[in-house]
Amino acid sequence: MPQPIIIMAGTPAWGETVIARLSAEYQILQIAQPGSYMKTLIEQRVAAVLIDGTAPDWDKWTSIPKSSPATRRIPLLLISDDADTRAQASKQGADMALAIADLLANPLAVIAPIARVLTPEYLAELDCQCQEALPPLAIEGVAKFNAGEYYAQHDLFEEQWATMTTPVRDLYRAILQVGVAYFQIQRGNYRGALKMLQRSVQWLVILPDVCQGVDVKQLRDDSFAVRAELERLGETHFADFDQTLIKPLVLIKS
């Protein structure tokens, strides 16, 4: 199982110490500028973010993730020795604010209780359930999706999702969110489409390449291609979007 990812936002003086003490448990990605920040948060399964509270733009590092449903549940820890900065942190989106000494005393003890990490038990259960057959309601949802009836597919997959309490429900949530994005494209709603595609990534990246016969890898690749094109065009040129990029779900027969 890959190591959970911790983002280190900014270039803190305490960075090397924390990397050395967390590297056995986590993969640390350091981002110095906010430009690629949101893209990384969306496309990686991030367990937590450590933010350099001495950076002049620390408030951007905390507020940006909270601006989108795709990233707002990622725990954000602001690290600063300035009491006023720590006091302002929660108003700007930080989930926790610590002095540098409090972090360095035991970084793992600080991170582990709040890190957003999938347990081996969860992944094993998901893998087991992905070997099962697609339920009848979901099969109907696939048919609606592939017929371009994206509003109807949403209702079917949402009903299937609501009946489940186990990890495989993320399969249905991922599909319905991609379908809703395609529905928004049909309606000419650029922002709605982009938002739903961003939200779907957090579920698509944790699913196996094939789950209950659904070719998740293909759905992942297709929806990522649609999102990349929307981002390239921007809202101004949304009318030029190539509709042939919207592909049907693929079912793999065992």
- The answer to whether residues 93 and 169 belong to one domain is no
CB neighbour list of residue 144: distance below 8 Å, 6 or more residues apart: 150, 152, 153, 156
User: In degrees, to the nearest 5, what angle opens at C-alpha 19 toward C-alphas 18 and 22?
Assistant: 80
Range of the domain at 133: 121-245
For the chain, how far is it from start to end, CA to CA, in angstroms? 25
- Whole-number pLDDT of residue 254: 66
User: Does one domain contain both 216 and 240?
Assistant: yes
The tens digit of pLDDT for each residue in 156-178 reads 999 999 999 999 999 999 999 99
Q: Are the beta carbons of 45 and 75 closer than 8 angstroms?
A: no
At 197-217, the pLDDT tens digits run 999 988 998 899 999 999 999
On whether both 140 and 223 belong to a single domain, the answer is yes
Number of domains in the chain: 2
- pTM more than 0.85: no
Residue 85 reports pLDDT greater than 70: yes
Which CATH number do you get for residue 52?
A: 3.40.50.2300
